[in-house]
């Protein structure tokens, strides 16, 4: 059986004394490879390699660092189909969606190609007599990223693209469920000209995550995953004195105003609710039509559209979406479907028994749709992360706004309307971090920034864009005075002022 290596100091590393976890094929339910579960010793060798390489990299001029990113972009593009196929085989998302996962990551690499501009700093000439003030952004040193299963290419690239371009050395701990593509990306970075030791991939579970969070030489940790773990990671890393950003779960609402174009809504909603089997933190698993007429019309159109959805193995070109990632995740989604039924939601369209002849052990769940869901239901309050759409009917704009604003998660939200004033008010007032106006999955472009609010994010800086640059650097401010010999009127015992 194929055993995935760690990737440390520019080389594949297999250590004999580690335990392993299985990597499944979600289409068939069979084991296709195994991944080592790294220990403290694994991390130590990665940290040593990173420490050794980082200072020279920080001293390399930013334009040269950017050139590695340009080379890497070209290499990933040349290998895109191979990577997408590998990604799809472990995650279960269809090939075209796997290509999108890689492409969205590459867009952050494109942003990182412009790092000389982002690191220019600020300068004030003449802040006082003979005094100039300037600031510079310097790398933190050795930093780390811990990533979830659902975007095994994009999220690692969000993190290491910006961190390495800023002059840091990076240790990536990818999800143990689909860890192959991150190793391939690290190899391509070396091929692109990155010196060994600056991007290391260590595999493992919570044991190695704990070692990362406690390690005194790791100065910052970026985490993306589920909220309870994100919160625990945030607390433990902060206690160890690190800079931590920890993105968590989501339950994004789509508000449908009575004047919305329902045909467009349905087209967008089926993709946003069921695409990638609902395993996106920016999926739209909750739809909130405003008014009974809107709800009834939307319900009928949705049912008709759902009948057209093709659920099939991820390598079937006809598939709209494939299996979910693991048997455990399928069981978790089924649990929520049962719970919603018990809580009294109306099961309008049941995909829970969906099977595929020839692939009966694959982790498939058909599209599932509940109406008459209420805010007090546990199945509404918690993240399901599967192809399950819940409709909560609202009587007014304010009621819909309140639902999204009061939910424990605040990652993304969308409003569909033709009324500019309603859209503007919604965007201004809603208590959520990323807003779409007639856009179902408002994932911001790479040169803006990604991050939710409330229990969707702990820590205070977002991913990529200038927020990412801020996270991966520390600012130093220099006040310099070159006196001409005549301005000695300050009392040296008082705090200097510019008065």
Give catalytic residues, as residue numbers: 281
Phi, psi of 289 (to 5 degrees): -75, 145
Query: Quick one: 98 or 262, whose CB is closer to ligand NAD?
Result: 98
Asked if residues 285 and 277 have their Cβ atoms less than 8 Å apart, the reply is no
Query: Quick one: 321 or 349, whose CB is closer to ligand NAD?
Result: 321
Least distance (Å) between residue 456 CB and ligand NAD: 5
User: Which residues, in sequence order, are bridge partners of residue 463?
Assistant: 450
Least distance (Å) between residue 64 CB and ligand NAD: 31
| Candidate residues 229, 303, 305, 445; the one interacting with ligand NAD per rule CB under 6 A | 229
Alpha carbon distance 117, 112 (integer Å): 10
Query: Quick one: 205 or 350, whose CB is closer to ligand NAD?
Result: 205
Least distance (Å) between residue 209 CB and ligand NAD: 4
Residue 5 has what DSSP assignment? P
Q: Which positions from 47 through 86 interact with ligand NAD, judged by CB under 6 A? A: none
Tokens standing for 320?
């709209």
Least distance (Å) between residue 127 CB and ligand NAD: 39
Tokens standing for 283?
């999926």
Alpha carbon distance 393, 381 (integer Å): 15
Asked if residues 245 and 223 have their Cβ atoms less than 8 Å apart, the reply is yes
Find, among 19, 118, 23, 14, the residue nearest to 65 by Cα. 118
Quote the radius of gyration of the chain (alpha carbons, Å).
Answer: 25
**Mask of contacts with ligand NAD, 159-178, x by CB under 6 A?**
--------------x-xx--
| Residue, CB closest to ligand NAD | 225
User: Would the CA dihedral through 470, 443, 405, 382 be positive or negative?
Assistant: negative
Least distance (Å) between residue 463 CB and ligand NAD: 7
User: Is 383 among the residues that bind ligand NAD (CB under 6 A)?
Assistant: yes
| Candidate residues 4, 146, 159, 266; the one interacting with ligand NAD per rule CB under 6 A | 146
In the chain, % helix, strand, coil (3-state, to 5) comes to 40, 25, 40
The phi-psi region of residue 344 (left if phi > 0; otherwise alpha if psi is between -120 and 50; otherwise beta) is: left
Query: Quick one: 10 or 452, whose CB is closer to ligand NAD?
Result: 452
Query: Quick one: 209 or 404, whose CB is closer to ligand NAD?
Result: 209
Query: Quick one: 381 or 480, whose CB is closer to ligand NAD?
Result: 381
Q: Which positions from 82 through 141 interact with ligand NAD, judged by CB under 6 A? A: none
| Candidate residues 32, 34, 45, 226; the one interacting with ligand NAD per rule CB under 6 A | 226
Rounded to whole angstroms, what are the CA distances from 418 to 48, 378, 438? 57, 33, 9
Considering only the stretches 53-61, 91-99, 123-131, 149-157, report the one whose residues sit in contact with ligand NAD under the rule CB under 6 A.
Answer: 149-157
| Candidate residues 164, 224, 256, 403; the one interacting with ligand NAD per rule CB under 6 A | 224
Q: Which positions from 279 through 298 interact with ligand NAD, judged by CB under 6 A? A: 281
User: Would the CA dihedral through 95, 306, 249, 472 be positive or negative?
Assistant: positive
Query: Quick one: 253 or 393, whose CB is closer to ligand NAD?
Result: 253
Q: Which positions from 233 through 272 interact with ligand NAD, judged by CB under 6 A? A: 233, 247-250
Least distance (Å) between residue 190 CB and ligand NAD: 22
Least distance (Å) between residue 80 CB and ligand NAD: 21
* Number of C-beta neighbours around residue 461 at 10 A: 19
Least distance (Å) between residue 146 CB and ligand NAD: 5
Residues binding ligand NAD: what is the number (CB under 6 A)? 27
Asked if residues 40 and 211 have their Cβ atoms less than 8 Å apart, the reply is yes
The C-alpha torsion from 244 through 470 and 200 to 20, rounded to 10°, is 30
| Candidate residues 349, 385, 397, 426; the one interacting with ligand NAD per rule CB under 6 A | 385
Query: Quick one: 131 or 238, whose CB is closer to ligand NAD?
Result: 238
Alpha carbon distance 97, 87 (integer Å): 10
Q: Which positions from 178 through 217 interact with ligand NAD, judged by CB under 6 A? A: 205-206, 209
* Number of C-beta neighbours around residue 328 at 10 A: 11
**Mask of contacts with ligand NAD, 316-355, x by CB under 6 A?**
----------------------------------------
Q: Which positions from 418 through 477 interact with ligand NAD, judged by CB under 6 A? A: 452, 456
The DSSP H or E segment spanning 344 is none
| Candidate residues 252, 411, 449, 462; the one interacting with ligand NAD per rule CB under 6 A | 411
Query: Quick one: 288 or 432, whose CB is closer to ligand NAD?
Result: 432
Secondary structure, 3-state, 234-250: HHHHHHCCCEEEEECCC
User: Which residues, in sequence order, are bridge partners of residue 412?
Assistant: 434
The gap from C-alpha 427 to its chain's centroid, in whole angstroms, comes to: 22
Find, among 373, 372, 413, 368, the residue nearest to 387 by Cα. 368
In the complex, the residues that contact ligand NAD under the rule CB under 6 A are 146-151, 173, 175-176, 205-206, 209, 224-226, 229, 233, 247-250, 281, 383, 385, 411, 452, 456
């Amino acid at each position: 059986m194929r055993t995935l290596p760690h990737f440390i100091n520019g080389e594949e590393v297999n250590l004999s004394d580690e335990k392993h976890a299985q990597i499944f094929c979600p289409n068939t339910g069979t084991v296709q490879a195994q991944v080592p579960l790294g220990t403290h010793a694994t991390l130590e060798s990665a940290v040593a390699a990173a420490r050794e390489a980082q200072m020279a990299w920080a001293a390399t001029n930013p334009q040269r660092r950017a050139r590695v990113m340009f080379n890497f972009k070209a290499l990933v593009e040349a290998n895109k189909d191979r990577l997408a196929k590998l990604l799809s085989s472990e995650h279960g998302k269809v090939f075209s969606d796997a290509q999108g996962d890689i492409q969205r990551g590459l867009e952050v690499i494109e942003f990182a190609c412009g790092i000389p501009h982002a690191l220019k700093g600020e300068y004030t000439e003449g802040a006082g007599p003979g005094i100039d003030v300037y600031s510079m952004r310097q790398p933190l040193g050795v930093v780390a990223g811990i990533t979830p299963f659902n975007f095994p290419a994009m999220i690692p690239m969000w993190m290491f693209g910006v961190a390495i371009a800023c002059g840091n050395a990076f240790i990536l701990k990818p999800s143990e469920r689909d860890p192959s593509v991150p190793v391939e990306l690290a190899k391509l970075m070396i091929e692109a000209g990155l010196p060994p030791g600056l991007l290391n991939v260590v595999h493992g579970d919570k044991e190695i995550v704990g070692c990362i969070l406690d390690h005194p030489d790791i100065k910052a940790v970026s985490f993306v995953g589920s909220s309870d773990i994100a919160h625990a990671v945030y607390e433990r890393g902060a206690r160890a004195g690190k800079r931590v950003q920890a993105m968590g779960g989501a339950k994004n609402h789509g508000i449908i105003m009575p004047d919305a174009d329902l045909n467009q809504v349905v087209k967008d909603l089926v993709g946003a609710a069921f695409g990638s089997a609902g395993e996106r933190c920016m999926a739209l698993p909750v739809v909130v039509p405003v008014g009974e007429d809107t709800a009834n019309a939307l319900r009928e159109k949705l049912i008709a559209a759902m009948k057209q959805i093709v659920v099939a193995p991820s390598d079937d070109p006809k598939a709209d979406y494939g299996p979910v990632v693991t048997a455990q995740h399928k069981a978790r989604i089924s649990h929520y479907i049962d719970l919603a039924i018990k809580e009294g939601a109306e099961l309008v369209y049941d995909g829970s028994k969906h099977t595929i002849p020839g692939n009966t052990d694959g982790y498939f769940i058909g599209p599932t749709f509940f109406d008459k869901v209420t805010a007090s239901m546990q199945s509404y309050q918690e993240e399901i992360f599967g192809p399950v759409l819940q409709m909560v009917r609202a009587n007014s704009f304010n009621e819909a706004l309140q639902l999204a604003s009061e939910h424990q998660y605040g990652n993304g939200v969308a409003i569909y309307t033709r009324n500019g004033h309603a859209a503007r008010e919604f965007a201004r007032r809603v208590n959520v971090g990323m807003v779409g106006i007639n856009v179902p999955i408002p994932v911001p472009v790479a040169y803006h920034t990604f991050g939710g609010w409330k229990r969707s994010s702990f820590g205070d800086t977002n991913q990529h864009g200038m927020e990412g640059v801020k996270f991966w650097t520390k600012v130093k401010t220099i006040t310099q005075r070159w006196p001409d010999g005549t301005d000695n009127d300050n009392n040296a015992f008082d705090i200097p002022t510019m008065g």
